[in-house]
Structure 1
Amino acid sequence: MFQDVMDFLMRFGPWGLFIHSFFDAVIFPVPAFFLQVSLSILHPSSALWLATAGFVGCLLGTPVGYMIGKLLGKSVLYKILKKEWIDAATDRFQKNGEAAILVGSFTPIPFKVFTILSGCLNFPLWRLMAYAALGRATKFYVVGILFYFYGRSAEGMVKNVSMYIFIIAVPLVLLGLYLNRRRRQKRAQALLSQEDQAMTDPIPEHQTPSA
């Protein structure tokens, strides 16, 4: 059934990929990556336009998936997705929501898990959109650029593109998040130290209340 749906969407070229990417962020279980590759093989010169259509569709679908999670909760996830996907995504969210979204953009776990789970756990929508834009743009445009410059010969390159992106990009993302967290912690500690110092400093004599 899913193959029939993909074959139908493939007839519409970029618009079909746009629709697929939209529902990939909401409910459709097959990642838009597969349709993007199939269309890029047929039309390598349009690979960047296809990447753009997929990227925009994903961004527009992200808040829809978020609202489904916010309104219906985890119960809808267990009905439409595999338990191990949900458990893995939940574990990542509990440790670091930002990293979960970015890493989830590159992993085989369907991205809709992260959009719906963000709504379930009340993760800020604007942050979800920002991190989704960064992660999904990387994946869509890496595929698009490879097909645009290498044509049909890029088919073999993109088979493991998720793995290559994961190996290269994810460590950099995690390092950036770690450094940002350390910076926030140091700033918070500095503010606490200033407050403690203000509380322990003696009151100047001229400010001491008279008996």
Structure 2
Amino acid sequence: MKIFQPCYDMALRWSRHRHASRYLGGLSFAESMFFPIPPDVMLAPMSLSQPARAWYFALLTTLASVLGGIAGYLLGYFAFDAWILPMIESAGYAHKLDTAMAWFKEYGVWVVFLAGFSPIPYKVFTISAGVLQMAFVPFVIASAVGRGARFFLVAGLMKWGGSAMEDKLRQYIEVLGWLTIGLAVLAYFIIKG
């Protein structure tokens, strides 16, 4: 039974929708504050189906993500105790927030660079930065560089891989899907530790 290939085919269809860029921007913005699905699920198939626009999609994703990160920072700064903390606790992210806060205290702005590649969701870092009242300009710069590196890497892999990448993804999508779930579960247990 195939689970991931139908999802992959659906993502490719969505990536060709005339409003796909708007959806990608909205998803990138929302994911930086509260939404659980990362923008890579749209960015990769959009870059794959329209390689000439891959850099545009990566830039759009980066800019929208940084703007969402700024909104997350402001939420953490102004509304953490009254509104955000109860939501984080009910979503089961309290231990991730504690980990992110400890990393901020130890590494400062450098942790935001790594947030783009961390198993801890970026939204936890944006809200934590606001709660800890991290310097705003370094936060924005680190977010742009860290998130941009991730999104341009994804777009570049799809752009340069072309139809060969699409064929390989289609061939191995089930294995990659289960591998990703396995890595997410492993990361969860390591972080929860």
Q: Do both share a fold (TM > 0.5)? A: yes
User: Of the candidates 134, 137, 144, which is equivalent to residue 133 of structure 1?
Assistant: 144
Per-residue CA deviation, residues 67-113 of structure 1 (Å, 9 max, x unaligned), is 11011225143244523321221221121121211111211221111
2:186 equivalent in structure 1: none
User: Of the candidates 94, 100, 103, which is equivalent to residue 89 of structure 1?
Assistant: 100
Deviation >4 Å, runs of 4+: 6-10
Per-residue CA deviation, residues 8-59 of structure 1 (Å, 9 max, x unaligned), is 9754222211111111111111111122113223223321111111011112
**Structure 2: how far apart are the matches of 1:124 and 1:86?**
19
- Name the count of aligned residue pairs: 156
SS at match of 2:109: helix
Preserved contact between residue 9 and residue 16 of structure 1 (Cα < 8 Å): no
- Displacement of 1:152 in angstroms is 3.8
User: Of the candidates 141, 149, 153, which is equivalent to residue 142 of structure 1?
Assistant: 153
Using CA pairs below 8 Å that are at least 6 residues apart, which structure has the higher relative contact order? 2
1:172 equivalent in structure 2: none
- C-alpha RMSD of matched pairs (Å): 2.8
Structure 2 unaligned runs (5+)?
1-6, 170-175, 177-193
Larger radius of gyration: 1
User: Of the candidates 10, 26, 34, which is equivalent to residue 27 of structure 1?
Assistant: 34
**Structure 1: how far apart are the matches of 2:33 and 2:14?**
17
**Structure 1: how far apart are the matches of 2:91 and 2:38?**
14
Amino acid of the structure 2 residue aligned with 1:72: A
TM-score (norm. length: structure 1):
0.65
2:115 paired with 1:104: yes
Per-residue CA deviation, residues 155-195 of structure 1 (Å, 9 max, x unaligned), is 668x7xxxxxxxxxxxxxxxxxxxxxxxxxxxxxxxxxxxx
1:207 equivalent in structure 2: none
2:24 paired with 1:17: yes
TM-score (norm. length: structure 2):
0.70
Amino acid of the structure 1 residue aligned with 2:38: P
